[in-house]
Amino acid sequence: MGILNCTPDSFYASSRSVTVDQAVAAARRMIDTGADMLDIGGESSRPGSDYVSAGQEIERVVPVISAVREFSDIPISVDTRKRVVAEAAVAAGADLINDISALRDDPELAAFAADRELPVILMHMRGTPRTMQLNPCYEDTLGEICAELRQFAYAAQQSGIARAQILLDPGIGFGKRLQDNLAILRGIAELRELGYPLVIGASRKSFIGALTDAGAPRPPEERLAGSLAVHAIAAQAGADILRVHDVPETVDVLRVLAELTLSEVGVS
């Protein structure tokens, strides 16, 4: 899953596309180099960020989705917490919804997904992007995340979303300490036991900068190698979808991994 940030303020500056032309060029590069799907968002969820208006979000993502649809039928997820944005994105050609709030921010978004029979990615996060890193605390990281993801999936089904349309994301970097992110990556097999396709989004996040610290945490621009190591480990552990900034490099890693393990690594 290639990340396409139609934002001026996402944490990794090189991932930002502030014009439609930039976003479309980035989309073409990802598709040409092996992306199986795109995740297009118009609201940054970096730590400390706040909501943008629905109108601004629509202005950022809808023209890009429409433009991509002119040359590709690649599956597109819209990264949003708002029903009105999802409606506009789906009308423009998006196929699924990626909601970092797990359908909790906008009670109408679940009803829309159910009515349109859309797949949804439900992510684990405590608080909001503005508050999530202020004082994250877990006693049993993996157990608590699994329990809360179960609750989110149950609530989605109670809203009419079919179980087969639900994917789960443990929310690496969203209200998590370094040790929590590592617990998630070490516990992918347990997360898969929840019975839903598993999305892992670790690309260039701050915990990788901390792990590769050579005197000071490395900035996002210096986290490619660490990200690729995480992607390889997640793929081997059974992740179904990898959400990444660096599509060609990740595709190369997965191809080599598949050959060396003599098995197919079927992640996207």
- Quote the CA–CA distance of 80 and 57 in Å, as a whole number: 8
Query: What end-to-end distance do the CA atoms of the chain give, in Å?
Result: 6
Residues 6+ apart with CB under 8 A from 217: 206, 209, 210
**What is the residue type of 267?**
V
Q: What is the DSSP letter of 244?
A: B
2, 37 Cβ separation under 8 angstroms = yes
Tell me if residue 176 is catalytic: no
DSSP 43-70: S--STT-----HHHHHHHHHHHHHHHHT
| CA neighbor of 184 nearest in space, from 102, 98, 124 | 124
The catalytic residue among 60, 204, 223, 243 is 243
From the candidates 46, 60, 176, 205, give the one annotated as an active-site residue. Answer: 205
The yes-or-no answer on residue 205 being catalytic is yes
- Within 13 A of 193's CA, how many CA atoms are on the CB side? 9
| Positions marked catalytic | 205, 243
